[in-house]
Structure 1
Amino acid sequence: MDPAEERVAVVVVTFNSEPLLPDLLASLPAGLAGLDWHLVVADNASSDRSVERVRHLAPDATVVELGRNAGYAAGINAAVAAAGAHTAVLVLNPDVRLDPGCAAELLRALRTPGTGIAVPRLRDAHGELIRSMRREPTVLRALGDAVLGTERAGQQDSLGEMVTRLESYRGEQLADWAEGSTQLISAECWRRCGPWDESFFLYSEEVDFGLRARDAGFATRYVPAAGAVHLEGGSGSSPRLWALLVTNKVRLFRRRRGVLPALPFWVVMLLREASRAALGRPHSRAAAAALLNPRHLRELPGPDRLA
């Protein structure tokens, strides 16, 4: 497709994100330099001045107020629905800052045949590489992570879900899926595989979409020439959110594989969290309790219901 015919819908979901928005919005013009783009912000009933800050700093943006905290996937879907005509969707967390030219590099890679999702080389707030590529969850990979730890298990394709080999991040690579903070999705991929599954309030929605896209023939392509900073946060700061992340992993596995194949996956996840809880880790204590609660495994709750 001629670059002049491209139009990127930049989609951001906010929830009490006011402190993060100025730096994100300031990075967009350079990050999307040379492209036709439009910002759409979906707000999940923020109690701060997130909406007012967007309207002040980006008066041309489209703002969708959901009126409730409907979750990340619901916000993305609402924003895409309000985006108007576009050839690609750039999904961004509020705590992302694009490097100059990031989106153009992602768009170039997105037009590689067979590619449906393009993701950049991410750095954390200290400039360190974020290992953002992932493999499909399996029982063996869950066991590898539990026994060897994420870093060691991820060195082997069969033993780790996270791709941890540093050399894997030096050139363009295909991944089963990638972390969801910064993703450029082709309109065709979205049409065939979207919307994102809103039953995942938070966590695993990007796994579900990425794996469904892969199953439909749309690869996720890692593009190191495109750069961005992701400040990160969320699950690491809250036992309740960590419990939601872990239980959603089990729910997604069960949906894709069935109840009986999911049983050993649940056992491995429970043993991992229970062993870490025994070492005094409150995040794992919350996760183990959630995994033992049938209601949490049956339902897809928001974090306020993980108690």
Structure 2
Amino acid sequence: MYRYDEFDHDFVQARVAEFSDQVTRRLAGEITEDQFRPLRLMNGVYLQLHAYMLRIAVPYGTLNSKQLRMLGHIARKYDKGYGHFTTRQNIQFNWPALSDIPAILADLASVEMHAIQTSGNCIRNVTADHFAGAAADEVADPRPYAEILRQWSSVHPEFSFLPRKFKIAVTGAERDRAAIQTHDIGLHLKKNAAGELGFAVYVGGGQGRTPMIAKKIRDFLPEADLLSYCTAILRVYNLYGRRDNKYKARIKILVHETGVEEITRQVEAEWQELKEADLKLPEADIRAIDAYFAPPALADRPEGDEVVRR
């Protein structure tokens, strides 16, 4: 599991306090539903036909026992006793009262969970293989890179109001259990001939009304260039993605209508301006994030793990 650092704790607590104030003002009638809408969406709150719905990010598809118990507590206390796990490593509660949502978010923060950017036209929660960190066919654990992307994308000032929602998935395995080609950006962690880590980069996948498979635009991106290359992709999309029709606003439509060759050219041109700047990832930062994915403290078993290995 990923363990929050001091910044994570402070950041999530600050967002809980900020949204609590926004909810108080909405319930008092100081802001309208239209004014409240972008604020609640950035905190995972939808308004459905009969009630509000809260979508919570499950970090990289893995829950520890404390987090799972907290979800059960939230379901019993604030909802109808159950939740809905989604296809993108979230859980949704469909019947919470708006007045209770700040308390729910505070409970989530106490077990290192949140609902930040699980909705809205922003970069959504970054997902990974649900066996990440334990899969035998992994080149490397993709979760530290997914966490780096989460930290980079959270409340990103340039990408908080995109033409449409934007989803990123990372896998480090030979078998793609993260379904990266159904995402706006799919990253396949791999090694080149020299044994260096990097990514194959796919762009323009998505489901919904017009499902499309993402196209590979770069066969090998060095790991240090992860953030600069993703920034280049997002800038091209933010500039040229349609905002006049929400059904044609996803990057998959932009790739389809512009052509993968032209999109690749635009991304590469933008990246040339970014690749040697401040977004280059230092090796020390990558290893520091990696260290926060502590393995569980498992007791030694006298019979060993041969059965599991088979």
Tell me which protein shows more helix as a share of its residues: 1
Fold match by TM threshold 0.5:
no
- TM-score normalised by L of structure 2: 0.27
Tell me which protein shows more strand as a share of its residues: 1
> Radius of gyration: which is bigger?
2
- TM-score normalised by L of structure 1: 0.28
